[in-house]
Amino acid sequence: MSNGDGNSSFSEITKKVTKKGLSGRSYKTKAGLTKKPKKMRGRKLSSQRWLTRQMNDPFVSQTHERGLRSRAAIKLEQMDDKHKFLKPHINIVDLGCAPGGWLQVVAKRCRMDAGIGRLVGIDLLDTEPVNGAYILKGDIFDENMIKEIKSYLNGYADIVLSDMAAATTGHRLTDHLRTMSLLEAALDFADDVLSDSGIFLAKAFRGGAEKSLLTALNNKFEKVKHLKPPASRVESVETYLFAKGYVGANKSEKSKN
């Protein structure tokens, strides 16, 4: 599990892009031509397309220029710029935190260096340290990990973030179902640690299987909406589910009391 969009083996290629833009679409050079990477011979067509897209993606350029660990960090910034949910002195959990791009954004915007709020990241992969973040390597299904996270947070979180996505197979339905199962696991985790009025933000892929999950979210939160930040490519089926106002028990049951 990882929330990184880039591929480090191609970092030298993508670092050469310096032009910035305002959308996730490829842009043209002054000569009206899309930039193309060198040494394409022998690569699969899919790899050639990926490399060309990376070189012409302004958000990839910004990622390297600003020292962010993933393009996904810009997506989180854009969602927070609009909805203002990252605030100082709160407890946050980042599920599937590697390589650490979201941790960087949260640590800065929530002023974790002040030592009042708490930020925990967990992933199956190694994640380099981030100032202000407590990083664990492990599985969110592991009860011991859950206990350790709760202990560090003093029992609760104000926000649970998840940019987890399963390794893609190229088969859209399979990829959708795998990612939705991770999203369901993230929601189960949130049920365990979220405080009243808490926030849940998680990656999803659009498709039929998300309907049942939306029902579950609407039963647990006051407001639920889809978010599509500008840095999320237009052609991608990726979206984010943003739920705020956690009520814990089923809303209909709670309203009877």
SS (H, E, C) the chain: CCCCCCCHHHHHHHCCCCCCCCCCCCCCCCCCCCCCCCCCCCCCHHHHHHHHHHHCCHHHHHHHHCCCCCCHHHHHHHHHHHHCCCCCCCEEEEECCCCCHHHHHHHHHCCHHHCCCEEEEEECCCCCCCCCCEEEECCCCCHHHHHHHHHHCCCCEEEEEECCCCCCCCCHHHHHHHHHHHHHHHHHHHHHHEEEEEEEEEEEECCCCHHHHHHHHHHHEEEEEEECCCCCCCCCCEEEEEEEEECCCCHHHHHHC
Annotation marks residue 203 as catalytic: yes
| Catalytic option among 84, 137, 203, 220 | 203
Residues with catalytic annotation?
A: 203
